Amino acid sequence: MTVNLPYAMTAELTHRCPLHCPYCSNPIELQKRENELSADTWLNVLEQASELGVVQVHFTGGEPLLRPDLELLVRRARELGLFVNLITSGVGMTEQRVRQLVEAGVDSIQLSVQASSSELADSIAGFQAHERKRQAAEWIRASGLDLHMNVVLHRANIHSVEEIIELCAEWGAVRLELANAQYYGWALRNIHQLLPSKEQIQAAEVAYARAHERFGHQIELLWILPDYYEDFPKPCMGGWGQVSLTVAPDGRVLPCTVSSDIRSLIFENVKERDLAWIWHDSPSFNAFRGYDWMPEPCKSCERREIDYGGCRCQAFQLTGDASAADPVCKWSPHRGVIADKVGSIASANGNGDVGTPIYSYRGR
Ligand code: SF4
Ligand code: FES
């Protein structure tokens, strides 16, 4: 089968992070600082990525600002002709750091926010971050860069979608991703505290439409659906090994950021193999390309070219079998797993906001 060239590379410079978000989608087992790739290895990875055809690089983490060599990597990526995006919590940003990043050639910065009020935002992050984010947004805007923002929506903040959009518009964002939480990794541990009710999602969709009317002309809004309430899964990652790759802090190359939790696969490392070989020939990247690997009902399904059988990580985390049809699908033999989770959460929490939940915080 023909293998596309990767369009984007996510470079996870570190798993270290000052925030403790309960919905963190990074793998359960985080890499320690001593296992992180050196700047020289990252420089080499960037060169290989550019030769392979990668067009965009997203520097992320954890918190990428914790790497003092970030500017060096941004500069090299830019010299190689890559579009450079930085995804950050904003914690650790200074006016000088923004200047250095701009000078190094960063094209855009995406800042996360947890809620519209600092009290709720800081309680979700498990860290006093909101005011630092506001300040970081101000410096980014003042530098002339486009400010992109993102928020993860869940039971505790979904009631204030309109206020969150208003806040991001006020901070000067030109683009905002409103991503309903995805339940992998750490987020799956907190699913009882995070999953909104169907009623909350319906109300949020109405509020989103209203905010779109008000702010749609000044800020590009992206609404990422909560798939637990859908009939069909999302075409996760645009297909396994089709569009993008992730290099984890320790050098393992992954088809998506959470796939290292799939224990049935072995992921190759840039310290031992070329990126091109890993992309084109490695067993992990080829495991779910095409349709031959699919079991029924996906194998003969008319939607297999639309959703590729859904998300491999979700299938593994909920069924233990990474090749299973995503349990979100109404035709999946595992649909009962989702129905049971949604049912037990609804009966424990009711239909509305139940106050500030008691999370299991990441990194504590
Ligand atoms: Fe997608 Fe498989 Fe469900 Fe068909 S059966 S809609 S391919 S997950
Ligand atoms: Fe890994 Fe969907 S999150 S394939």
The whole-angstrom separation of Cα 343 and Cα 266 is 35
Is 236 among the annotated ligand-binding positions?
no
224 and 353 Cβ atoms separated by less than 8 Å: no
- Give residue 276's pLDDT band: very low, low, confident or very high (50, 70, 90): very high
Distance 184 CA to ligand 2 centre (A): 9
The whole-angstrom separation of Cα 223 and Cα 153 is 10
* For ligand 2, atom 2: residue with the closest CA: 311
Say what percent of the chain tops pLDDT 90. 83
Distance 234 CA to ligand 2 centre (A): 10
The complex's ipTM works out to 0.93
Distance 304 CA to ligand 1 centre (A): 6
Q: What is the mean pLDDT of residues 298-304?
A: 96
The whole-angstrom separation of Cα 99 and Cα 94 is 9
Tokens representing 158? 């979904």
Is 80 exceeded by the pLDDT of residue 362? no
> What homologous superfamily does CATH list for 8-224?
Aldolase class I (3.20.20.70)
Is 60 exceeded by the pLDDT of residue 225? yes
Distance 106 CA to ligand 2 centre (A): 27
pLDDT for res 186: 87
Q: What's the Rg (C-alpha) of the chain?
A: 20
- Give residue 354's pLDDT band: very low, low, confident or very high (50, 70, 90): low
pLDDT for res 359: 84
Ligand 2: which atom is nearest the Cα of residue 310?
2
Is 313 among the annotated ligand-binding positions?
no
Q: What is the mean pLDDT of residues 162-170?
A: 96
- Does the CA dihedral 128-129-130-136 come out positive or negative? positive
Q: How do residues 117-145 score in pLDDT, each as one tens digit?
A: 999 999 999 899 999 999 999 999 999 99
Predicted TM-score of the model (pTM): 0.93
Distance 308 CA to ligand 1 centre (A): 7
Distance 189 CA to ligand 2 centre (A): 17
Ligand 1: which atom is nearest the Cα of residue 330?
3
Query: Is residue 322 lining ligand 2, measured as CB closer than 6 Å?
Result: no
Is 90 exceeded by the pLDDT of residue 224? no
> Please, which residues bridge with residue 8 across strands?
56, 244
Q: What is the mean pLDDT of residues 343-357?
A: 73
Phi, psi of 307 (to 5 degrees): -115, 0
Tell me the average pLDDT of the chain.
Answer: 93
pLDDT for res 158: 95
Q: What is the mean pLDDT of residues 51-61?
A: 97
Q: Which residue ranges make up each domain of the chain?
A: 8-224
- Give residue 185's pLDDT band: very low, low, confident or very high (50, 70, 90): confident
* For ligand 1, atom 6: residue with the closest CA: 303
Q: Which residues line ligand 1 (CB under 6 A)?
A: 232-233, 297-298, 301, 303-304, 307, 309-310, 325-326, 329, 331-332
Ligand 1: which atom is nearest the Cα of residue 304?
7
Nearest ligand, CA 328: 1
| 85 Ramachandran zone, left/alpha/beta (phi>0; psi -120 to 50) | beta
